[in-house]
């Protein structure tokens, strides 16, 4: 192959590469012009129709406040509970049954489950139970999984097993203390939960009895006698040598401390958490209603604005739409 042919191939390659970059540049410029033209059209459209669009926002705000004053007020509050007898998963599932009763408007079932009068049971509009998430597994609660989107296969973060959160929506916040007491009674109505809690307490009593006995044995003078006898042990026959490893008497105190730590853990379970459920953080008294004007405004105002925008677009392009309808 001659040198001229090689140079021609190289030139052809260079020309193709330059043409590729030019084509990409033309495409990018074309899209930029299209986007710029579209933005300009949108801006001009909004400027020409600014009055009806502003009017739609005002109507949406007015409807939001109208809904606020015509609907029953709803107050939102949360309580943090500790499940002592059963895992959190079982207790959260058990609480979810209450939300099913509310959706079915079975207020008699709510009244009997929470031991509430029927009029107070009708004030409850929602009950939900959520997991508490611990980031980095440092045993510090970081956030509540309201949408139940936590990945159970996450190896960095974890669901906290010593607490969960129950969220309640009521029409009168004065009923929250009664609902808290109702939650505690509701957990005791489950016979399985009650039996598991009784077994837990009996098991703690048995372990405490054994621990107290072991502590007395370790803390008695018998160990001193044992060590003294070991040190002063003499061979039975003359000339016989006995090699003994001298025991470290101070190590006995580590054993005593370990037993005391176990004993204190069991005492804590019995004294602080004797029931099926324990309240870690009680309901806070809400000051503002949950379904205020801003609650409805987040939905109503965008809906009014969107409907007005669609109407204006259809009105502007009604001839083209009419022609398309005739075609098809």
**What pLDDT does residue 77 have?**
95
pLDDT digits (tens, 9 = 90+) for 109-162: 999 999 999 999 999 999 999 999 999 888 889 999 998 899 988 888 999 998
| 8-state DSSP, 132 | E
pLDDT at 257: 83
Q: What is the pLDDT of residue 250?
A: 46
39-45-46-51 Cα dihedral, nearest 10 degrees: 170
Q: Which residue shows structure tokens 């044992």? A: 226
Mean pLDDT of the chain: 84
* Helix, strand, coil tally for the chain in percent (to 5): 65, 10, 25
pTM > 0.75: yes or no: no
Under-50 pLDDT residues of the chain:
221, 247-251
Non-local (6+) Cβ contacts of 94 within 8 A are 187, 190, 193
């Amino acid at each position: 192959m001659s040198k001229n042919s090689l140079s021609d191939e190289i030139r052809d390659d260079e020309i193709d590469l330059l043409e590729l970059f030019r084509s990409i540049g033309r495409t990018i410029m074309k899209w930029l012009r299209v986007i710029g033209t579209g933005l300009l059209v949108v801006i001009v459209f909004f400027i020409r129709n600014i009055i009806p669009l502003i009017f739609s926002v005002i109507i949406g705000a007015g409807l939001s406040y109208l809904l606020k004053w015509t609907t029953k007020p709803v107050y939102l509050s949360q309580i943090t509970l500790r499940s002592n007898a059963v895992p959190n998963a079982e207790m959260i599932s058990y609480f979810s049954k209450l939300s099913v009763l509310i959706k079915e408007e079975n207020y008699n079932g709510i009244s009997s489950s929470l031991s509430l009068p029927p009029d107070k049971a009708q004030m409850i509009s929602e009950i939900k139970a959520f997991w508490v998430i611990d980031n980095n597994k440092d045993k510090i609660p970081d956030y509540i999984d309201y949408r139940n989107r936590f990945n159970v296969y996450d190896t960095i973060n974890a669901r906290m097993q010593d607490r969960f959160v129950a969220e309640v929506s009521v029409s009168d916040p004065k009923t929250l203390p009664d609902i808290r007491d109702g939650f505690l009674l509701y957990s005791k109505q489950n016979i399985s939960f009650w039996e598991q809690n009784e077994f837990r307490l009996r098991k703690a009593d048995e372990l405490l009895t054994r621990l107290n006995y072991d502590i007395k044995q370790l803390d008695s003078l018998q160990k001193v006698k044992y060590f003294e006898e070991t040190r002063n042990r003499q061979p039975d026959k003359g000339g016989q040598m006995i090699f003994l490893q001298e025991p470290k008497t101070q190590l006995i105190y580590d054993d005593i401390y370990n037993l005391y730590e176990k004993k204190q853990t069991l005492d804590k379970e019995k004294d602080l958490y004797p029931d099926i459920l324990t309240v870690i953080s009680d309901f806070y008294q809400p000051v503002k209603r949950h379904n205020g004007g801003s609650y409805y405004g987040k939905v109503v105002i965008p809906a009014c604005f969107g409907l007005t925008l669609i109407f204006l677009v259809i009105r502007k392009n009604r001839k083209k739409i009419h022609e398309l309808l005739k075609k098809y």
